[in-house]
Structure 1
């Protein structure tokens, strides 16, 4: 029983004083005092019925649903570059690294996560290991590998013309797209991801590298088997065509224009803009040695995208919060809640609206809209107790020192243990020989 706090239920409703009572992995009551709403509308619970309950004093705290991260890369192990991610990973060590990192999410208040693409196709195995209790971690909804054309994705020329590397599976024809989609679903994919845009060194920005018809082939194949589709779209045309093709979740939706916005609104697709990675590089990249050449570009992308995403929100499009945790600029357990802050800052959402995006809305991203994301009777017992008034200051969520309690599946997470640390795995990190060429003129000025 969590008592004495202010209940922010995640639905967007104003917070109210009250208690939350859980039995195992189920919320059985939410309310205030003797009027606490119990199962089937019962008047409340007698004290003798709660005598054996573990009590959590939430005085001065906000009681709210566990955070859900709609875009996280659990198996990437925080690479510093695409080269490192694609060519410096080992199957066994990657699985062990993932198991090492997963508890960090729980310790940061993240109780569920959507992972769209995984290296070595290991997503379903990691998900199942967590559910079976082999390793500790949040609830996981996962893809297998990102589907790419031979043009590649954000890694450009590092991607081969065929086959698989890292998290990428290259498909060259519509027949291969159908086969790959069916195979991923057979392997246990909860959704299929398309990398609809990619990079070419001689061109600025990302280009659309899938046709609308190709995306429709994947969507039709997956939907026939009851599996949704997500797409990485970092330009206007890809966002438009993904929506028209039937994609269910559009990641990034960068630089949307009027035509793309109209397609998204009419299609009913969800948008997950993923501002956190871009903002971390812009605001803090130089502090950790990141290059500054992309700062102005990313600031422009955030501004242009935010304007259109806000309009999509106003038109009724469901927005999702995703951190893209798993890279060196978004390490596990540190930045999952920043997207909530950025929704308030860049989209001008109210704190309650932004929190809803990270809870009730994100429950749709993990296929659990009726089970997670809202504190109500019959839902799963994923609950946070956060020191302070989160409805007034969403930045409180980003500092895990404010977490007084985290329930995952109704079980308290150990927040007193040391933060998981380890030494780098041999060969897993890429070091530069130098930051600039050693020219004769440099040595002999």
Structure 2
């Protein structure tokens, strides 16, 4: 029989939308929540055999966080050249496994990694599920679909075939073939870069897919039950992605009235992913970002936030995603900042932000009704937090506040040190960026302490 675990005395946020419940026990049996409240205490008292107890008095018990926008296979590059030309497949796979345990230590018990180098995301998912690698529950995509115009990397994307995390599709037939091949190789999601950059055009990203092409992606994937997510960094791309039937839209930058109407009408979910922009806006000056770009990042957040709030009020499902995996969003450091961004910029309540990062995130893992809430019959992914995130949601960014991280019913050993990673000389373009990982932000220990309590 699977062992039991009783977490007693804590204030439970069950992520159903109900108010927090003080002094409420939670009983687990293996990877299942068995009971809450007095029933949990009574069942635990009658349990014969192995029973582990955790006293959570004065603490908060809540579901583990779900990060719906990660890039665990990228290895925290400082730029596209590093990402495309300085990673081997084997080394990237091992680095991804190293990163997965850092995610779990940050209280993130579920992730969607929608596009990856090679097909590493699918293999990493399998390694985690097989117990070979310690990591969160994971759903994975393959290479992001792009037209010949490319995506955010512009002309660095080859005119055909695969470049890093991207694959160029030039016709409807190629779209259908690529989607089916990725599904054959085990992806959970198909990702499309609906917008991209033009090197000779000032301003932000533009829509680089036709509505017909987007529908071809969605229809082909949906025919076999696979959802589609789109990278959309302007209003028209968000509108047409929703009209084409996309299940989840990243960014939804500068979403307007027509795009909001399409999102509501078609039932698409939104994952604004403000953390990357927030880090660039707040710390871009430390890594050499141009002052005018910093203002662009900040303006994108403020403009988009108002409409995301309206979408939320209209019943649109909003998820949290950090886009962790770049040099400005190091893995294991920033996952929970997205909740703070929802509260600060969109005026969400702390409870609403927590629901976005737990209950709503189940959609990204294709586990609605199974995960993201503390209810009998749900999977046993939980956090015991020293403090009250309903008073200050930013405490979830402070790993010292995570008294216990429980994944699949098992306590994660957060005390065991993870070996410090060094950067191989071949990994970076040294004359462009010599600093690794969090040093890209030039953050001191005092800075990190301050950020944990923002």
Q: How does the TM-score come out when normalised to structure 1?
A: 0.94
Q: 1:27 aligns with which of 30, 33, 43?
A: 33
Q: Distance in 2 between matches of 1:2 and 1:109?
A: 17
Give the 5 Å matches for 1:132-281.
132-203=130-201, 204-281=203-280
Q: Distance in 2 between matches of 1:300 and 1:228?
A: 31
1:64 and 1:132, CA in 2 relative to 1: closer, same or farther beyond 3 A? same
CA-CA distance at 1:48 after TM superposition: 3.8
The equivalent of 2:325 in structure 1 is 326
SS in 1 for 2:238: helix
CA-CA distance at 1:12 after TM superposition: 2.1
Is 1:8 aligned to 2:10, yes or no? no
> Which of these two proteins has the greater Rg computed from alpha carbons?
1
Which runs of 5 or more residues in structure 1 are unaligned? 39-43, 436-445
Deviation string for 1:78-105 (max 9, x for gaps)?
A: 0000111111110000001111111111
Q: Distance in 1 between matches of 2:68 and 2:429?
A: 29
Deviation string for 1:287-310 (max 9, x for gaps)?
A: 344443411101111111111111
CA contact (8 A) 2:358 2:373 kept: yes
Which runs of 5 or more residues in structure 2 are unaligned? 1-5, 435-454
1:407 and 1:430, CA in 2 relative to 1: closer, same or farther beyond 3 A? same
1:364 and 1:433, CA in 2 relative to 1: closer, same or farther beyond 3 A? closer
Deviation string for 1:330-387 (max 9, x for gaps)?
A: 0000100000000001110110001000000011111011111000001111010000
Q: Distance in 2 between matches of 1:323 and 1:272?
A: 9
Q: Distance in 2 between matches of 1:162 and 1:83?
A: 18
Decide which moves more: 179-188 or 409-418: 409-418
Q: Distance in 1 between matches of 2:132 and 2:46?
A: 36
CA contact (8 A) 2:69 2:320 kept: yes
Q: Distance in 2 between matches of 1:207 and 1:55?
A: 54
Q: Distance in 1 between matches of 2:308 and 2:44?
A: 48
CA-CA distance at 1:432 after TM superposition: 2.0
Moved over 4 A (4+): 288-291
Deviation string for 1:259-280 (max 9, x for gaps)?
A: 1111111000000010000001
Superposition RMSD in Å: 1.5
Deviation string for 1:239-286 (max 9, x for gaps)?
A: 000000000000000011111111111000000010000001111222
Deviation string for 1:138-158 (max 9, x for gaps)?
A: 111000110000100000110
CA contact (8 A) 1:117 1:167 kept: yes
CA contact (8 A) 1:101 1:420 kept: no
Q: Distance in 2 between matches of 1:22 and 1:434?
A: 47
CA contact (8 A) 2:27 2:44 kept: no
Q: Distance in 2 between matches of 1:103 and 1:366?
A: 18
Q: How does the TM-score come out when normalised to structure 2?
A: 0.92
CA contact (8 A) 2:274 2:322 kept: yes
CA contact (8 A) 1:153 1:197 kept: yes
CA contact (8 A) 1:104 1:420 kept: no
Q: Distance in 1 between matches of 2:292 and 2:420?
A: 31
SS in 1 for 2:36: strand
CA contact (8 A) 1:385 1:404 kept: yes
Q: Distance in 1 between matches of 2:401 and 2:287?
A: 25
Give the 5 Å matches for 1:355-370.
355-370=354-369
Q: Distance in 1 between matches of 2:74 and 2:433?
A: 25
1:209 and 1:433, CA in 2 relative to 1: closer, same or farther beyond 3 A? closer
SS in 2 for 1:190: coil
Is 1:337 aligned to 2:336, yes or no? yes
The equivalent of 1:79 in structure 2 is 77
Deviation string for 1:35-60 (max 9, x for gaps)?
A: 2269xxxxx42624277411111111
CA-CA distance at 1:71 after TM superposition: 0.3
The equivalent of 2:65 in structure 1 is 67
